[in-house]
Amino acid sequence: MSSRLLFRWLLVGEWRAHLLQALVAIIAIALGIALGFSIHLINSAAYNEFSTATKHLSGQSDLQVRGTQAMFDEILYPTLVQHKSIALANPVLEFDVVVADKFADSRDNKLTILGTDMFRAINISPDAIGISTDGDRLDGLSDDAIFLSPAAMEWLQVKQGDLLQLRSGVQTVTLRVAGGLLRARVGQRVAVMDIGAAQWRFDHLGLLSRIELKLAEGINRDAFKISLAQELGEHYRVIESADQEARINNMSRAYRVNLNMLAMVALFTGAFLVFSTQVLSMIRRRRQFALLRVLGLTRAQLLRQVLLEGTVLGTIGSLLGLALGYATAATALHFFGGDLGSGFFSGVRPDIHFSWLAAATFFILGLGVTLLGSAAPAWEAANAKTAPALKSGSEDIALVKLATPWPAIACLVVAGLFTLFPPVFELPIFGYLAIVLLMVGIIALMPRFSALFFSAFLAISTKKSSAAVPMLALSRLANAPNQASLALGGILASFSLMVAMAIMVTSFRVSVDDWLGQVLPADMYVKLASSGDKGGFQPEQQQAMEAIPGISRLDFSRALQLTLDPSRPDITLIARPVDNDSPEKIIPIIGEAMASASFPAGSMPIWVSEAMVDLYGYHIGNQVNLPLGKAGEVAQDFVVAGIWRDYGRQFGAIQMQLSDYQQLTGDENVNAAGLWLQTDTASEQVMTTLRALPFNDALEISHSSEIRATSLKIFDRSFAVTYLLEMVAVVIGLLGVAASFSSQTLARAKEFSMLTHIGMVRRQIFGMLAAEGGLLAVLGVFLGFVLGWTISLILVFIVNPQSFHWTMQLHLPWGWLILVALVMVISAALTALLAGRRALSGNTIRTVRED
């Protein structure tokens, strides 16, 4: 008989008999792979499209010059055009405006406008030139003309010739849709107009956002980049497209990696399921294998047989997973875009691209974990002593080897050590490894826990009662701990993951809620729908607001973007009145802030968010420079006077005194105001007064309670995908419970026949099974809770600070945890019962005879 034929017989025979288990294992692998692959596809499509779309409009420039703030003086432009090393310089003014018709939708009402000089752009970024379809080429210069990308036209429901009302700061500008931007990326919402018109109509006179450069022939880009940066000084940044990519990459990397990690967790759960399926199958076929060995099958052949079975499972599961993942990703991208609720990749519509490399990686991953799950059982099966294995009831012995505690304990120790390690490439790699090792270690120690727990339980309950059914269940669990632990492992793995995720998300949510309370001390907030970095409330408008009756206090604030490092996303600078002696009144300071008496002479205090500590190495007492003030003036010293928690801006934020800011920059405008009402004033009254202001059209007025509610809504939306992952973990966990219970009860058919034979009624056997299932689930849920809680500590205190640079307090969602625990226990008991019914439907006489 050929070995191939034998392989087929054994495999087909096993699967035919236990189709459900094979299916469950395949589904588990497939789900894990599908999740991972689809998240990868969605994220990479979104990332690539976002990156391409960003690069698309900056054309084929060699370098870009930007200011450290969003805009800079156009005076630099002629200097660069005439620079002998620069062949072409393309000035660009980029800003967002609010579309009047979309004003109500504050999350999605902004349109990005690129102001360009078509005669300069044509040689560097020809795609950023508006095209009129009626042949009027010079219309691109008209000061009332705007050109929209197809996606923007579709979004705004306009066509060539229509008028479009746009708001910038307190003014409304009406422009004529003069044509299209046919080569904009699909889904990219962007508008182009003449740079001179844009500067004038939107009150950006004298300002540019960037200058794109093409270098003269023979100029070394890298060397010139450095020399130009030196020439221009600290108020400008010279950027190449690699920096821009790094910037986009930095912006979303933590988010993307963490999502992928969650998918890996699902895959890991799947691998565990394969492991338990294979172990159970080995146990069931112990005598079959022993017989084959006696008949002349070598150990190597047997090992190969088991591994091949695993390979088939893994291959089918992985392929299914890839197909499912691709379909899911395509559907999600089609219906929801690539954003996944994160907000990182809005404004683009990515297409799915099948990547062979990624597919191969995930396939190997799927197959790898399956083989890993099969390896230990295969080894045991191949090395089993033939003679004892032929006997009945030796199944539990088979698992003894798996229960050697040392590797498991080693895993736990290493996991503990890993939690002490710093991030790698700003990612919490060791944190994740610690989680994996922790799970492996605890699951491997399961048999010990289960033996200890049930033996102790048995000892206690024997003294108190002697009811037959609970005793039978308990002694079974206490004396065959290895088999019990397999079912337990499934419950443990999925429940612990759910617990960990739930604790993490709850901790985060509660912390965000607290934080919102701290950062929104005023009763009402007024801001401009769009002010960009320029514009805002001018002094006379500020006075008009201060004059409103019924207000006890009015705090203006100025927010703008600063580029400290061109390869990182911009940080936010917020200038507002701060009490130097007790900044914690309006800033959520962590720990102690520096006392104003100890500020170094001549330094202005700044309070920085936690991300500034992680990303830029700021510490309390540090003296730093910021690119504020006018170019050429002596740089002002700042001292870091405190560190605060910021969930709003993971790339870093700095707060400073508004008076310091105004003194330094001469910029008198502000973007927002916080209003404290007098105790006897109704907010409606103030609202009415605000609405009567001449510039009320552009105002966004909100109560702090509304902002809080909206923020939490956004939070929940961002975590929508993790809720989905939790659901998947629940499904995989329950599948595991079903598979391991049904296979165990089937394997115990002989035991049940014997029990029936000696007089137990079926009801009692069902009771025993339900008790076993319930008890196991109780232990699994308990251990799962402990493990999940430990993992959540790693997530809350290591993974989050290292990925997103913010800390949070631990909060446990008891209600939800108890609910899921009950569902787990009940479903485990029910599954055990159902599986038992099937096992007992067989022929008692035949089974006993077989024994």
Instruction: Note the residues at the interface with other proteins (CB under 8 A).
Output: 74, 77-78, 81-82, 91, 117-120, 122, 126, 129, 131, 135-138, 140-143, 182-183, 194-197, 199-200, 205-206
DSSP string, 256-313: HHHHHHHHHHHHHHHHHHHHHHHHHHHHHTHHHHHHHHHTT--HHHHHHHHHHHHHHH
- CB of 351 or CB of 637, closer to other proteins: 351
Contact 657, 605 (CB under 8 A): yes
Least Å distance between CB 349 and other proteins?
18
- Nearest approach in angstroms of CB 532 to other proteins is 17
**Residue 487 in tokens:** 């079912």
For other proteins, which is the closer residue by CB, 11 or 122? 122
For residue 137, the minimal CB distance to other proteins (Å) is 5
Residue 77 or 495 with smaller CB distance to other proteins: 77
E strands within 678-715? Answer: 699-703
Query: C-beta of 796: minimal distance to other proteins in Å?
Result: 51
Compare residues 199 and 269 and give the one whose CB is closer to other proteins. Answer: 199
Shortest distance (Å) from residue 193 CB to other proteins: 11
Q: Which is nearer to other proteins, 184 or 746 (CB)?
A: 184
Q: What is the DSSP string of 608-631?
A: EEHHHHHHH---TT-EEE-S-S-T
**H-helix segments, 337-444:** 356-383, 386-390, 395-398, 405-418, 429-444
Q: Which is nearer to other proteins, 199 or 563 (CB)?
A: 199
Q: Please state the closest distance from residue 56 (CB atom) to other proteins, in A.
A: 13
Q: How far apart are alpha carbons 177 and 773 in whole angstroms?
A: 69
Residue 206: strand, helix, or coil: coil
Angle at 478 between CA 477 and CA 479, to 5 degrees: 95
Cβ contacts of 77 within 8 Å, gap of 6 or more: 89, 91, 208, 211
Nearest-approach distance from CB 138 to other proteins, in angstroms:
6
CA distances from 185 to 124, 152, 157, 436 (A): 17, 11, 18, 41
Structure tokens at 65: 């010059």
Contact 269/735 with Cβ under 8 angstroms? no
- Minimum CB distance to other proteins smaller for 176 or for 304: 176
User: Which residues pair with residue 654 across a beta bridge?
Assistant: 573, 608
Q: What are phi and psi of 582, to 5 degrees?
A: -140, 75
User: In this structure, are residues 644 and 608 in contact, taking their beta carbons and an 8 Å threshold?
Assistant: yes
How far apart are alpha carbons 734 and 738 in whole angstroms? Answer: 6
Cβ closest to other proteins, residue 184 vs residue 381:
184
The C-alpha atoms of residue 509 and residue 47 are separated, in whole angstroms, by 27
User: Which CB, 80 or 820, lies closer to other proteins?
Assistant: 80
The Cα–Cα gap between 608 and 587 comes to 10
- The C-alpha atoms of residue 784 and residue 821 are separated, in whole angstroms, by 9
Distance CA 584, CA 579 (A): 8
Shortest distance, position 87 Cβ to other proteins, whole Å: 9
CB of 115 to other proteins, least distance (A): 8
Q: Which lies closer to other proteins via its Cβ, residue 122 or residue 510? A: 122
Q: How far is the CB of 203 from other proteins (least distance, A)?
A: 11
Tell me if residue 839 falls in helix, strand or coil: helix
Nearer to other proteins, 204 or 285 (CB): 204
Contact 535, 168 (CB under 8 A): yes
User: Nearest distance from residue 698's CB to other proteins, in Å?
Assistant: 22
Q: How far apart are CB 166 and other proteins at their closest, in Å?
A: 17
Rounded distance between C-alpha atoms, residue 306 and residue 274, angstroms: 12
d(CA 752, CA 762): 9
Q: How many CA atoms lie within 13 A of 329 on its CB side?
A: 27
> Minimum Å distance from CB 528 to other proteins?
22
Give the number of other Cβ atoms within 10 Å of residue 78's Cβ.
11
Per the listing, tokens 């360009």 go with: 116
Q: Please say which residue, 181 or 488, places its beta carbon nearer to other proteins.
A: 181
Q: How far is the CB of 146 from other proteins (least distance, A)?
A: 15
Q: Looking at the DSSP assignment, which residues form a beta bridge with residue 88?
A: 214
Q: Compute the least distance from the CB of residue 182 to other proteins, in Å.
A: 5
C-beta closer to other proteins: residue 131 or 731:
131
Rounded Cα gap, residues 798 and 811, in angstroms: 16
- CA–CA dist 602, 311 (Å, integer): 70
Name which of 86 and 768 has its Cβ closer to other proteins: 86
Nearer to other proteins, 208 or 593 (CB): 208
- Locus of tokens 């033939």: 386
In whole angstroms, the minimum distance from the beta carbon of 141 to other proteins comes to 4
Length of the chain: 851
Nearer to other proteins, 143 or 716 (CB): 143
Report residue 66: phi and psi, to 5°: -125, 160
